[in-house]
Structure 1
């Protein structure tokens, strides 16, 4: 079993190849087996996620898809380490993330290019209202959230918003880095969809305040939120990264 996965159960599977099996010698082959978590359909559409993963795999982004079964899939095992919360504050790593994120946002994914965020928020709110006791619904101010969603959609749906293919969950556990080459891979596309790219960048900043290995992983420590200089440096690197990208204003 591999630690750190929150939505699925993830395993490293390995076996001997190329002889030497009887003596316990020889080379090992490794793959990653992902068993889908139960109940996650409340948060995202699993079929959409699988299609996204298959498309990313075909185009050389992220791990390669090696096989599927009804409750999960087998993926290429990436020989890299998962980032930690501290890594996100490292200027060198932050610059690599910024460049990689711009590349991700300009992926030409199939299907409609419409923003998914507002419908997703409303669906989550509807589900929350259906399962929350009245005292909890009042504590979380669920009755006010629809007004806030409507206000935010109105504010951030203008022509000045650049829409791209967003990861929507860019926390440190979903970013892997090869220590030797500094090649960075973004993994786990359960929430990926077209959205305003400003949301993806803002969400990544919020993830710097998270610690998913603490006893209260749902509580963010905003004293760790990046300061203005860190945010400006990240955005400047994002905007100046090379590549054949469509202009965004």
Structure 2
């Protein structure tokens, strides 16, 4: 993939206590834009400032600002943090992630931080859907980009998975119930008690740690809307680095396969079958070998089978991760999305697949 142009990151432009509420050219929005794009306000073209609401995100609100007729030339994105997301996301770490990945050519640049969000660059292209993610060319690009992200080594960070700390925090933050009687009834009827979920996590952790999956720098949230395909440049971009951290390589793989199910129309029948996964993982491992400057022909069917077994086992903890995340969001988020229903579906899929995936055996 061709590295993105590296625009200087202006982290000295921190605008506090600006808090942006609406998608319009209010004073707060203009103050941010004047800081990061002063040229837009030096002439009559300032009057042609346009905005676009980006949909598909379920954690934050996202708006794009650009000059009329120049959408393909320069867009400044403003992400407005969702209510309660600070409980689950280290926003300072997120800013560092964008800086690190931008320097490596793996992210658009960060322009500014304000009280309840960020201003950063826009990746041109189209988001994937349940069909395009299976396109042979695109899925190969995803595998290649994943390998390059995994090769990033943030200075000063211990190479240690953050998965367990994060997921147990989600469990701790998940609600015991809801004030609304109907939602509370649904919660009590459909979601297993915390002690049951904790026991599952404890047992799953023992099982997964024994697999010795390599710890690499992962995106950790490769749902379809977080992957942008630029056909003209023949590349993909990963966006939204809120959950990027050191994690198990096979979590990234298993989680990505889980996301084939979609979000708004969640359908786990779309989860890739073994034949598809084996082909995907074979290419991934061959590209890993190339990245290490080794002969890709040395990748054996046993290697692919091992990767398949580990990825599917880690798919279980991915379901648990986002199921618990959904419960926290259901309690705190003001975004119009069925978080409780989403959490229920993810946790249900965990229990539906648990015995099958835990029974998978590594080849001798």
The TM-score normalised by the length of structure 2 is 0.59
Q: TM-score, normalised by structure 1?
A: 0.84
Task: Name the residue aligned to 1:140.
Answer: 191
Question: Residue 119 and residue 138 in structure 1: after superposition, are their counterparts in 2 closer, same or farther (change >3 A)?
Answer: farther
1:227 to 268, 273, 285: 273
Alignment of 1:159-174 (within 5 A): 160-174=212-226
What are the superposed Cα offsets for residues 47-81 of structure 1, whole Å, 9 maximum, x if unpaired? Answer: 22121112212222111112222222221222211
Aligned-partner SS, 1:94: helix
Shift in alpha-carbon separation, 1:228–1:73, aligned structure 2, 3 A: same
Which has the higher mean CA deviation after the structures are superposed, 186-195 or 106-115? 106-115
Which consecutive residues of structure 1, in runs of 5 or more, have no partner in the other structure?
17-23, 215-219
2-structure distance, mates of 1:245, 1:37: 43
1:31 and 2:76 equivalent? Answer: yes
**Is the partner of 1:85 in helix, strand or coil?**
coil
**Do the aligned partners of residues 63 and 178 (structure 1) sit closer, same or farther apart at CA in structure 2, a change above 3 Å counting?**
same
Structure 1, 151-160 or 229-238: larger mean CA deviation: 151-160
Out of 98, 102, 118, which is 2:164 matched to?
118
Q: Is the 8 A contact 2:177 2:188 kept in 1?
A: no
User: RMSD value over aligned CA atoms?
Assistant: 2.6
Residue 100 of structure 1 corresponds to 145
- More moved, 29-38 vs 127-136: 127-136
Number of residues of Structure 1 aligned to a counterpart in Structure 2: 234
In the alignment, what sits opposite 1:127? 173
Structure with bigger RCO (C-alpha 8 Å, 6+ apart): 1
Map Cα deviations across residues 131-183 of structure 1 (whole Å, 9 max, x no partner).
Answer: 55886356411221111111111112237321111111111100011111211
How far apart are residue 129 of structure 1 and its match? 4.3
Q: Is 1:237 aligned with 2:283?
A: yes
> Equivalent residue of 2:54, what SS?
coil
Instruction: State whether residues 229 and 236 of structure 2, in contact with CA within 8 Å, keep that contact through their aligned partners in structure 1.
Output: yes
The more displaced of 197-206 and 7-16 is 7-16
- How far apart, CA to CA, are the structure 2 residues paired with 1:28 and 1:81? 15
Preserved CA contact (<8 Å) 1:174 1:187: yes
Which ranges of structure 2 fall in alignment gaps of 5 or more residues? 1-52, 295-302, 308-364
Report if the CA contact (8 A) 2:129-2:262 is conserved. Answer: no
- Cα displacement string for residues 207-242 of structure 1 (whole angstroms, at most 9, x for unaligned residues): 001243x4xxxxx31211111111011111111113
Q: Given the alignment of the two structures, is residue 47 of structure 1 paired with residue 92 of structure 2, yes or no? A: yes
Does 1:80 find its partner at 2:136?
A: no
Q: Structure 2: how far apart are the matches of 1:115 and 1:123?
A: 14
Higher strand share: 1
Q: Which residue of 2 aligns with 1:182?
A: 234
